[in-house]
Amino acid sequence: AQSVTQPDIHITVSEGASLELRCNYSYGATPYLFWYVQSPGQGLQLLLKYFSGDTLVQGIKGFEAEFKRSQSSFNLRKPSVHWSDAAEYFCAVGSSTGYSTLTFGKGTMLLVSP
């Protein structure tokens, strides 16, 4: 069965500092990987996704993530955090073999300090 681990429940970063949110997955084949962001009272918005090809993927709002097969990781990064980035971030894994739902991690809440 596929699973996703986001080891950090909360992270606080100073505005302007760099950010890395960790995500580890368990899946038997090449996964499809996603990062979503959820602002308070809002639904989830896709930041970026990895299906194949270049392991460094760019997303919206200046985010990027790198797929590392050897580490079963798909960490999210941003070089300079803005106060508006404060939100909850979810990593998700999907199947490349036809099962059609996403499995989500429990999320990481990002707090941005001035």
Residues contributing to the site for another protein (CB under 8 A): 9, 32, 34, 36, 41-46, 49, 90, 92, 94-107
Nearer to another protein, 67 or 90 (CB): 90
Nearer to another protein, 9 or 17 (CB): 9
Nearer to another protein, 28 or 41 (CB): 41
Contact call for residues 111 and 11 (beta carbons, < 8 A): yes
CA distances from 59 to 34, 66, 95 (A): 10, 11, 21
Q: Report the alpha-carbon distance of residue 51 to residue 97 in Å, rounded.
A: 12
Contact call for residues 88 and 108 (beta carbons, < 8 A): yes
Nearer to another protein, 12 or 18 (CB): 12
CB of 114 to another protein, least distance (A): 26
CB of 17 to another protein, least distance (A): 26
CB of 28 to another protein, least distance (A): 15
